[in-house]
Amino acid sequence: MIQEILIVDGYNIIGSWPELQKLKEIRLEEARDRLIETMAEYQSFSGMKVIVVFDAYYVPGLGGKYLQSKLPVYYTKEKETADELIERLVTGHIGRRKQVYVATSDMTEQHVIFGKGALRIPASELLVKVRQIRQEIRRTIDTEAPPKRNSFDSRLSGDIRDQLEKWRRGN
């Protein structure tokens, strides 16, 4: 079985999706969190392993990898671009029985990762896939019947139920 891995260029997607783009203007952190939640939901339902990468080029520090909502989230090191980290991740994940995709609308990055053996998913196409998954989730929730109640009380005969009720009330 082939393992599918999706590497998401976080800020590129935020800048490309209308809802996140508006949210970014108000609060960048909230747009980041919303993208992570969306990608975690996508990972859960699609079965793909999803990795989100954020550029911290101008932020001093070592960068790092965090697990948020069961989703690996990478922040680049100081003076490292998201593109460089994505290229390293692609190189590290390419292998037998693995198919790596990179979600970005950066044309230069798309060409580079394609040369490394990964496939590209433009931001607009990823948005369509996310919306389709959300519709599937809603359909699944709507079509599943509510679970039948399996209570102890429903299995008792009327006489026994009456006797237990009398005991409960102290009669």
**pLDDT tens digits for range 100-124:** 999 998 888 877 888 888 999 999 9
Q: Return the sign of the alpha-carbon dihedral for residues 59, 64, 65, 66.
A: negative
Phi, psi of 19, rounded to the nearest 5 degrees: -65, -45
Amino acid identity, position 77: K
Residue-wise burial string across 137-167, b where 16 or more C-beta atoms lie within 10 A, e elsewhere: eeeeeeeeeeeeeeeeeeeeeeeeeeeeeee
Q: What pLDDT does residue 102 have? A: 94
pLDDT tens string 3-34: 999 999 999 999 999 999 999 999 989 999 99
Asked if pLDDT for residue 148 goes beyond 70, the answer is no
Q: Between vectors from CA 37 to CA 36 and to CA 43, what angle results, nearest 5°? A: 85
Fold of 3-169: Rossmann fold (3.40.50)
Average pLDDT over residues 40-52: 94
The model scores a pTM over 0.85? no
Residue 144 pairs in a beta bridge with none
| All structural domains of the chain with their residue ranges | 3-169
Amino acid identity, position 170: G
| Cα–Cα distance measured from residue 132 to residue 126, given in angstroms and rounded to the nearest whole number | 10
Amino acid identity, position 169: R
| Cα–Cα distance measured from residue 21 to residue 164, given in angstroms and rounded to the nearest whole number | 62
Average pLDDT score over the chain: 88
Asked if pLDDT for residue 43 goes beyond 90, the answer is yes
